[in-house]
Amino acid sequence: MKRTIQLVGAAALMAGLLLPLYAGGGKDTKAASSQGLKIGILTTSGVDDGSFGQDCYNGILDFIKSNPEATVTPVKEPDMAKVLDAAANIIADYDVLILPGFEFAPVGALMQDNPNRKVILVDANPTDASGKEVELPNIYAMIFHEEESGFFAGIAAALETKSGKVAFVGGMAFPSVVNYQFGFESGVAFANKYYGAKAQLVNIPSYAGTDVTGKAVGSNYVGDFADQATGKTIGNALIGQGADVIFVAAGASGLGVFAAVKEATGVYVVGCDVDQYDDGKTGNRNIVLTSALKVMNINVSRQLAAIKNGSFRGQNALLGASTDSTGYVSASGRQQLSANSLAKLQEAYSQLKAGKLIPAANFNGHSPTNFPGL
């Protein structure tokens, strides 16, 4: 997972300069809709980061394909401490501002003061000036059931392992990362019970995680989202203990795990958040088995369409498979799963989408060995 931690995801902030700001008008959204939405996207890592920024930007571009009168301006502020000031500086220039990442959660206070502007907030719910979570009529906030995507990663790993040993690597044990972990472990347990897999989880005690409540959650945590060296150390240690499929949800630290796997033979990773197949290229082979997805682009495009047609409604939405917002990469040429694995994953997806499966998550009261559907 290679993004600025997002609650999951804290990834390293990429260096760069704040791009020149787009000079827009002060018209309200309703008036602007007839002329074409003026869309801004503010990121810490750019819209070409191969991760959150790019996926959200692609959603904007998809909307513009059908609405060519709309315009988009990317703005980059790599300093996390300055992102809210950057948002405040440009909010009047756009009808809607796309903000990908947990660092934008405090935008709630700004939007209370700008009721005629709209925000699409990705991977966080808004908070007010006191830090209290709020739901506002001009913010559509989306967070995701990471445990669902992790569940598919676990099934894929359990079905594809040749050594019988699989592992999870996280950046820090924030709730969304632990969701990925528990979902992964749930998927391994499900594949073992119903699909004939015999996979074991490899956990290194010295890298065990502790969640935000102080509860020990085990698995393998780097302790940072921007420590590639430790990521590689953990990757090598897991490979040394026989793990041949590793699910990586560790931000830039995960690149270290990728590096370790690229130097090994017969070892694969499962990517996270977005399709990471291109990151897996090494020589004439690729180490990415598949990727667990948060589908941001579709939801960004949907909300832009709602703004245009007047049906937009601010809310704090929790998205999952029921809205095609979580899943895994199944497209030919972007994954290396067997036909049997693909069939089993589709079967599990249908059950999960129908509500028959509820994988364990950090705070949903279930465990990876005792959840509805197991």
Whether residue 33 is predicted with pLDDT greater than 60 in this model: the reply is no
Same domain, 155 and 62: no
Same domain, 114 and 68: yes
Residue 226 confidence (pLDDT): 85
Q: Is residue 217 part of a domain?
A: yes
Cβ-based neighbour number of residue 68 at 10 Å: 8
Alpha helix segments (H runs only) across 195-312: 228-240, 253-262, 296-309
Per DSSP, the three-state class of 285 is strand
Whether residue 27 is predicted with pLDDT greater than 60 in this model: the reply is no
Same domain, 153 and 177: yes
Residue 68 region by backbone torsions, left for phi larger than 0, else alpha for psi between -120 and 50, else beta: alpha
Same domain, 104 and 179: no
- The residue with greater pLDDT, 102 or 39, is 39
- The residue with greater pLDDT, 159 or 31, is 159
- Domain hosting 283: range is 146-293+338-353
Residue 18 confidence (pLDDT): 33
Residue 64 confidence (pLDDT): 98
Mean pLDDT of the 21-35 span:
41
Whether residue 7 is predicted with pLDDT greater than 50 in this model: the reply is no
Q: Is residue 368 part of a domain?
A: no
Q: Strand 285-286 and strand 281-282: pairing?
A: antiparallel
Residue 49 confidence (pLDDT): 85
Predicted confidence band of residue 19 (pLDDT cuts 50, 70, 90): very low
Residue 127 and residue 105 in contact, taking contact as beta carbons nearer than 8 Å = yes
Cβ neighbours for 244, distance < 8 A, ≥ 6 positions apart: 161, 162, 163, 165, 166, 266, 267, 268
Q: How far apart are CA 184 and CA 326, in angstroms?
A: 13
- The residue with greater pLDDT, 249 or 35, is 249
Residue 66 confidence (pLDDT): 96
The alpha-carbon radius of gyration of the chain (Å, integer) is: 20
The number of distinct structural domains making up the chain is: 2
Q: Is residue 366 part of a domain?
A: no
User: How far apart, in Å, are the Cα atoms of 209 and each of 1, 15, 269?
Assistant: 17, 29, 20
For the chain, the average pLDDT equals: 91
Same domain, 184 and 287: yes
Same domain, 230 and 345: yes
Q: Is residue 81 part of a domain?
A: yes
Predicted confidence band of residue 300 (pLDDT cuts 50, 70, 90): very high
Same domain, 66 and 185: no
Predicted confidence band of residue 255 (pLDDT cuts 50, 70, 90): very high
Residue 32 confidence (pLDDT): 43
Residue 225 confidence (pLDDT): 87
What DSSP line would sit under 83-131, residue for residue? HHHHHHHHGGG-SEEEEESGGGTTHHHHHHT-TTSEEEEESS--B-TTS
Question: What confidence tens digit (pLDDT) does each residue in 120-144 have?
Answer: 999 999 999 999 999 999 999 999 9
Q: Is residue 112 part of a domain?
A: yes
Same domain, 342 and 204: yes
Q: How far apart are CA 270 and CA 277, in angstroms?
A: 9
Per DSSP, the three-state class of 200 is strand
Q: Is residue 277 part of a domain?
A: yes
Residue 22 confidence (pLDDT): 32
Q: Is residue 159 part of a domain?
A: yes
Predicted confidence band of residue 338 (pLDDT cuts 50, 70, 90): very high
Residue 4 confidence (pLDDT): 33
Same domain, 347 and 228: yes
Predicted confidence band of residue 5 (pLDDT cuts 50, 70, 90): very low
Structure token digits, residue 330: 């199944």
Q: Is residue 369 part of a domain?
A: no
Same domain, 315 and 175: no
Alpha-carbon dihedral angle through residues 54, 59, 65, 68, given to the nearest 10 degrees: -90
Same domain, 96 and 198: no
Q: How far apart are CA 329 and CA 347, in angstroms?
A: 15
Whether residue 31 is predicted with pLDDT greater than 90 in this model: the reply is no
Mean pLDDT of the 136-162 span:
98
Whether residue 326 is predicted with pLDDT greater than 60 in this model: the reply is yes
Same domain, 139 and 151: no
Whether residue 291 is predicted with pLDDT greater than 60 in this model: the reply is yes
Residue 24 confidence (pLDDT): 34
Residue 102 confidence (pLDDT): 86
Q: CATH number for the domain including 238?
A: 3.40.50.2300
Residue 30 confidence (pLDDT): 43
